[in-house]
Amino acid sequence: MVLRAEYQLGDEEKKLEESAEICLKCGVCCVLKAHSCHAQYDEQFDPTHTFVYDCLGSENPTGNLNIWLCVSCHKCEELCPYDVTPIEFIEAMKAKAFELGLAHPGVMSEIEQIIGTGSAFPVTGSSVRQREAIGLEPLDPKAQDELKLISEETGLTERLNRYKEAQK
Ligand code: SF4
Ligand code: SF4
């Protein structure tokens, strides 16, 4: 299976290559349950149609919401006997999908939550009390401002706005 889309290679080689890798569809990265890709547990996948085949062989890889099941654990890369790196392809497709406004809505709302509140979870009276109860320091409100600044300076805020526009 030749990868269908352009993607960015590793740090040493920052350029786009087309069909730069070939997956031999041996299945090793997904079929060894408990050792391989966790996304393979999703019921839509089986040994004849693995998660990695689904991502690498998709006709529309940036529009394939399954790519967001990848948690970037690198197991596939470590297990592949042929030095294929599915994760690089999947991460590049996520980045492209983000640019195109195709990212998974759940991921976008999580990003907004973190930038907006400085926390991955809603900070409620209950969470404040629980922090106190286990001796954690109060959350620093400056962290929220710093995250907003980082988001603006890195262009993330602008991308989020573009994404929202694309969703209208
Ligand atoms: S990096 Fe992604 S594709 Fe590779 S094993 Fe982990 S979850 Fe699966
Ligand atoms: S182990 Fe490598 S060659 Fe085999 S299916 Fe996974 S990525 Fe493809």
Give the number of whichever ligand sits closest to the CA of residue 79.
2
Q: Are residues 144 and 72 in the same domain?
A: no
pLDDT at 18: 46
Model confidence over 34-91: pLDDT tens digits? 889 999 999 999 999 999 999 998 888 889 999 999 999 999 999 999 888 899 889 9
Is 90 contained in some domain? yes
- Owning domain of residue 70: 7-99
Look at residue 16 and tell me whether its pLDDT is greater than 60: no
Q: Are residues 112 and 78 in the same domain?
A: no
Is 2 contained in some domain? no
Question: Measuring from each residue's beta carbon to the nearest atom of ligand 2, which residues come in under 6 Å?
Answer: 23-29, 52, 76, 79-80, 82, 84, 86
Model confidence over 116-163: pLDDT tens digits? 888 888 888 998 999 999 999 988 888 888 999 999 999 889 888 887
CA of 168 to the centre of ligand 1 (A): 32
Atom of ligand 2 nearest to the CA of 86: 7
- The pairing of strands 16-17 and 7-8 is antiparallel
Atom of ligand 2 nearest to the CA of 85: 7
Encode burial over 68-84: b for 16+ CB neighbours within 10 A, e otherwise.
Answer: bbbeeeebbeebbeeeb
Question: Measuring from each residue's beta carbon to the nearest atom of ligand 1, which residues come in under 6 Å?
Answer: 37-39, 52, 70-76, 86-87, 90
In this prediction, residue 8 has a pLDDT band, given cuts at 50, 70 and 90, of low
Secondary structure of 30-88 in HEC code, one letter for each residue:
HHCCCCCCHHHHCCCCECCECHHHHHHCCCCHHHCHHHHHCCCCCHHHHHCCCCCCHHH
Higher pLDDT, 2 or 156: 156
- Number of folded domains in the chain? 2
Phi and psi at residue 17, to the nearest 5°: -120, 145
CA of 98 to the centre of ligand 2 (A): 25
Q: Are residues 25 and 78 in the same domain?
A: yes
pLDDT at 51: 96
